[in-house]
Amino acid sequence: MRIAIISHAYVEPGYFPVLESMMAYPGLELALITPDRYRGRFQVSPCQFESAVVGLRTYALPIIFGQRQGTFIYSPAALSRALADFRPDLIFHEQEVYAVGAAQIAAVAARESIPLVMFVWENVSRSLSWPRRRLVRYVLGRCAGLIGGSAGAVKVHCDWGFSGQTIAIPQMGVHQLNPTPVFGRRNGNSFRVAFAGRLVSAKGIDCLLRAVAEVRGKGIRLECEIVGSGAEQQKLVSLRDSLGICPAVRFTGPLSIEGVRSILAQSDALVLPSRRTAVWEEQFGLILAEAMAEATVTVGSRTGAIPEVIGSEGLLFDENDHHQLAAILETLAANETELIAHQHRLWLRAGSLYTNESLATRRLDFLKGVCLAANAAELAQGYMHENA
């Protein structure tokens, strides 16, 4: 089976591990079609991709009409040459369906009679302009299948009119589970909590700080590390100081991947207290899967994809409700038996759902099913035409 993956995401190296896992399957040939530059910050060449994933056919194509996700399209001539050279059985396109580029790929797939599967993250049924509504109808009407990064993303696109095959599979996962995680308290002197991400209002870090203050106010020794940077940092530092928890809360700034992993492995809980906005809800929260892979308990707000990733009602709290969050942290800090039970369950959940190998297997199974169904439909249509 020959699959052409078309995506602007692969100008970033973090997306390649899933492709590496897919390449391990016998009888599968993959090609990656991507812009030769994106948002003016990257310029790539096929040899860079080939060194990243052995055996991957690569095509870095020029783009026109800007370098933003919603406006660019590939050079039509270069795209036609790439598809003619690779001759895919199926196109897997990673882009939102209201983008101009999605309409381009949908048109090409329809013209060449190649089944098309879209990957989408959009999980907010936002109000779209009339041109974008037309793009959505056009693209969804030409898709044979759709993979959403979450169940919420799948629902939004079904609400927008898609009636084909769907499944929820994140775009990227964790490289591997920690084979020897520590179960139980990571530090006997205090309960350790972490946050990692952008320091912006939508991440709800102020809710976490208030919960930390409430738990510590009950005499429970709790420490918190905030990893990341963003526009809200100074405001959050001021809030920490006003709550009187300065010694217990440390802002580390941005860290390397290894640094974040080290903090997760040393923490008892990772909290993601996101809050929704008019145009955004948490789409996956890769940091949740990374924490679970370290057997670190994940606690999150009931926002976007967070509940489906964590998969445990007892570790969820309502948006902005620092009292509920404080109660969860207090229970985890006071009951090590419950803490260990959550650690085991989440560690196993990460292994079954969120490793790159698991994502690759589920993605390939779905793509093969779509391709088989499309081929069967084409054969049936041809038979009916011949016997008409």
Question: What gap in Å lies between CA 118 and CA 146, rounded to an integer?
Answer: 5
At 295, list the tokens. 């057997």
> In whole angstroms, how large is the CA radius of gyration of the chain?
23
Q: How confident is the model at residue 46 (pLDDT cuts 50, 70, 90)?
A: very low
pLDDT in tens, 314-325: 999 999 999 999
Residue 66 has pLDDT above 80, yes or no: no
Count of H-run helices and E-run strands, the chain: 14, 17
Whats the size of the chain, residue-wise? 388
User: Which residues are 145's β-sheet partners?
Assistant: 117, 165
d(CA 210, CA 146): 40
What is residue 279's DSSP assignment?
Answer: S
Q: What is the pLDDT of residue 115?
A: 97
Closest to 212 in 3D by CA, of 241, 187, 234: 241
For residue 7, what is the DSSP state? E
Question: Over the stretch 156-165, which tens digit does the pLDDT of each residue have?
Answer: 999 999 999 9
| pLDDT tens-place string over residues 198-222 | 999 999 999 999 999 999 999 999 9
Can you give the pLDDT at residue 126?
84
Closest-CA residue to 69 (of 98, 91, 49, 26): 98
pLDDT score of 20: 87
Write the pLDDT tens digit of every residue in 231-281. 999 999 999 999 999 999 999 999 999 999 999 999 999 999 999 999 999
- Alpha carbons 153 and 202: distance in angstroms, whole number: 19
142 CB-side CA count, 13 A:
25
Q: What are phi and psi of 180, to 5 degrees?
A: -135, 60
For residue 380, what pLDDT band results from cuts at 50, 70 and 90?
low
Strand order in the sheet with 116-120: 57-61, 29-35, 2-7, 90-94, 116-120, 145-148, 165-168
Q: pLDDT, tens digit, for every residue of 121-170?
A: 999 988 889 999 999 999 999 999 999 999 999 999 999 999 999 999 99
- Residues 6+ positions from 128 with CB-CB distance below 8 Å: 98, 136
pLDDT at 45 over 80: no
Give the whole-angstrom CA distance, residue 267 versus residue 294.
9
Neighbours of 92 (CB within 10 A): 23
Give, in order, the Cα–Cα distances in Å from 45 to each of 34, 58, 91: 10, 9, 21
One-letter amino acid identity for 288?
Answer: L
CA max distance for the chain:
81
Q: Given the structure tokens 């926002």, which residue do they identify?
A: 303
Residue with tokens 């709800």: 204
The amino acid present at 366, given as its one-letter code, is F
